[in-house]
Amino acid sequence: MLLPDSRVYVAGHTGLAGSAICRRLEAEGHRNLLLRTHTEVELTDEGAVERFFDAEKPSHVILAAAKVGGIAANAAFPAEFLSVNLRIAANVIESAWRHGAEKLLYLASSCIYPRVTPQPIREEALLTGALEPTNEAYAIAKIAGLKLCQAYRRQHGFDAIVAMPTNLYGPHDRFDLEAGHVLPSLLRRFHEAKEAGAPEVIVWGSGSPRRDFLHADDLGTACLTLLRDYSDEMPVNIGSGDDILIRDLAFLVAEITGYRGAITFDPSRPDGTPEKRLDITRISGLGWRPAIDLRSGIEQTYRWYRENCARETATV
């Protein structure tokens, strides 16, 4: 049972998802959080992970650590996306079980669903079709982590559960123009174009794909719901219940950032999966619903970006 004094290890606590989960835990009175940076515990190092679990023996583990990136990064570094994420999952799940953790929550990703599948996507769609080629390496690693959780549950009775978040955004995201995900990349691109007085912003792809976006703070509340109220090998979708055309998203981000120039789409750049919206019936049945609408969430994220990142990421 997750109690206020439970020893909770959040792997990846400095990232987008992990930091949001920590904020939610702290807001609900959890003060016994075990947090380690990449330099303190290298999760790809089996021995380092084993020593950490042996010393700290957390009762609950949230595995939000991962090597992540957008289409360009996945295409350029498939070996790293596959090998790093495989090792992280194998090391943390094994050590959590071996050292008696009561429960583990593994964050997989909606990108592991087939490239083409009925919408909205139900959890049962997993492994029913071919993956999207632009993120295949990352997806395979995340599928392996999911299957590890199921295997440890079946063989050892370990209470390992899996969340399937949709496209996340919010504070502590990576606002990288080349390697980042679409929404934070757009925020930075339009912000810098506005500051520079650029007459045009070029957006990768045709603008025709549809995506489901969820604020990371909504993910945080969803993860606590799962830790408290869910125990099954079936993964659980966490999404907004809605989607938006990338074209419409670009115009929305331009409006929020105050950019007034032209917007041009470059269809020579890859679009990725044509459509992706998650069915959230399963987690809705536990009483969870997202609380932050897309416009409000982007406005809040843009304020955070200006206050924390704009100066250091500026290219002009």
301 assigned ligand-binding residue: no
Position 315 scores a pLDDT of 47
271 assigned ligand-binding residue: yes
Catalytic residues: 138
Structure tokens at 292: 């932050």
| CA distances (Å), origin 284, targets 122, 232, 297 | 13, 16, 20
239 assigned ligand-binding residue: no
128 assigned ligand-binding residue: no
Q: What value does the CA radius of gyration of the chain take, rounded to a whole number of Å? A: 19
154 assigned ligand-binding residue: no
In angstroms, the CA 143 to CA 149 distance is 10
257 has which bridge partners? Answer: none
Cis peptide bond N-terminal to 78, omega within 30: no
Contact predicate 149/93, CB 8 Å: yes
Strands 210-211 and 244-245: antiparallel
HEC per residue, the chain: CCCCCCCEEEECCCCHHHHHHHHHHHHCCCCCEECCCCCCCCCCCHHHHHHHHHHHCCCEEEECCCCCCCHHHHHHCHHHHHHHHHHHHHHHHHHHHHCCCCEEEEECCHHHCCCCCCCCECHHHCCCCCCCHHHHHHHHHHHHHHHHHHHHHHHHCCCEEEEEECEEECCCCCCCCCCCCHHHHHHHHHHHHHHHCCCEEEEECCCCCEECEEEHHHHHHHHHHHHHHCCCCCCEEECCCCCEEHHHHHHHHHHHHCCCCEEEEECCCCCCCCEECECCHHHHCCCCCCCCCHHHHHHHHHHHHHHHCHHHHCCC
Q: Domain 8-173+213-240+277-292: give its CATH code.
A: 3.40.50.720
32 assigned ligand-binding residue: no
What's the pLDDT tens digit per position in 64-95?
A: 999 988 777 888 899 999 999 999 999 999 99
pTM of the predicted structure, to 2 decimals: 0.94
Position 181 scores a pLDDT of 84
Position 179 scores a pLDDT of 66
86 assigned ligand-binding residue: no
Tens of pLDDT along the chain (316 residues)? 999 999 999 999 999 999 999 999 999 999 999 999 999 999 999 999 999 999 999 999 999 999 988 777 888 899 999 999 999 999 999 999 999 999 999 999 999 999 999 999 999 999 999 999 989 999 999 999 999 999 999 999 999 999 999 999 999 998 988 767 899 999 999 999 999 999 999 998 999 999 999 999 999 999 999 999 999 999 999 999 999 999 999 999 999 999 999 999 999 988 888 999 999 999 999 999 999 999 999 999 999 999 998 765 554 3
In the chain, what is the straight-line distance between the N-terminal and C-terminal CA atoms, in Å?
51
What angle do helix axes 216-229 and 16-27 make, rounded to 10 degrees? 60
Q: Which residue type sits at 178? A: E
In the chain, domain spans: 8-173+213-240+277-292
204 assigned ligand-binding residue: yes
What's the pLDDT tens digit per position in 90-130?
A: 999 999 999 999 999 999 999 999 999 999 999 999 999 99
